[in-house]
């Protein structure tokens, strides 16, 4: 009978440890500024850096893609359109700027990468919309 409190204590401790681990597993830390500091050193504009960070967060949550990469040369050539007042016709969010750049995304569960056109809408310094559209090369007909 003396072992009953000991067994009960061990079960209680194990269950509390499980709940503690579940709480940590559900947290998704936001990328820190240090993760994108190299882009600042490359003199990439701040809205473009915010868009790259937003795409990294978005791809982590989307069921279609599991990885997103923007090569350095594409980040440096990103187009910032300040004349556009809405993000897109299908998603009419008012924006101050639309940033567009080519990138690569890996479809979840597949081994190959897909070329994508990425667009990001920024309003008041915050990202308000993102979209990835596959950019398939046209087939050469001979």
Band (74; pLDDT cuts 50, 70, 90) = very high
Supply the pTM of this predicted model: 0.69
Contact 58, 130 (CB under 8 A): yes
Domain residue extents for the chain: 33-134
Report whether pLDDT(11) > 60.
Answer: no
Q: Is the pLDDT of residue 25 over 50?
A: no
Instruction: Note the pLDDT tens digit of each residue in 75-113.
Output: 999 999 999 888 887 878 899 999 999 999 998 899 889
Q: What confidence tier does 10 reach under pLDDT thresholds 50, 70, 90? A: very low
Residue among 96, 39, 104 at smallest CA distance from 70: 104
The pLDDT, as a whole number, for residue 34 is 65
Give every CB contact of residue 18 below 8 A, 6+ residues apart in sequence: none
pLDDT at 88: 82
């Amino acid at each position: 009978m003396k072992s009953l409190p000991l067994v009960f204590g061990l079960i209680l401790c194990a269950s509390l440890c499980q709940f503690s681990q579940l709480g940590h597993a559900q947290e998704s830390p936001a990328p820190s500024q240090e993760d994108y500091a190299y882009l600042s050193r490359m003199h990439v504009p701040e809205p473009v850096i915010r868009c790259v960070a937003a795409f990294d967060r978005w791809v982590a949550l989307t069921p279609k893609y599991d990885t997103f990469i923007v090569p350095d040369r594409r980040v440096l050539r990103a187009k910032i359109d300040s004349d556009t007042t809405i993000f897109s016709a299908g998603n009419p969010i008012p924006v101050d700027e639309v940033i567009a750049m080519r990138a690569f995304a890996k479809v979840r569960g597949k081994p190959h990468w897909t070329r994508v056109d990425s667009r990001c809408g920024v309003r008041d310094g915050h990202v308000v919309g993102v979209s990835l559209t596959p950019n398939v090369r046209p087939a050469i007909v001979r």
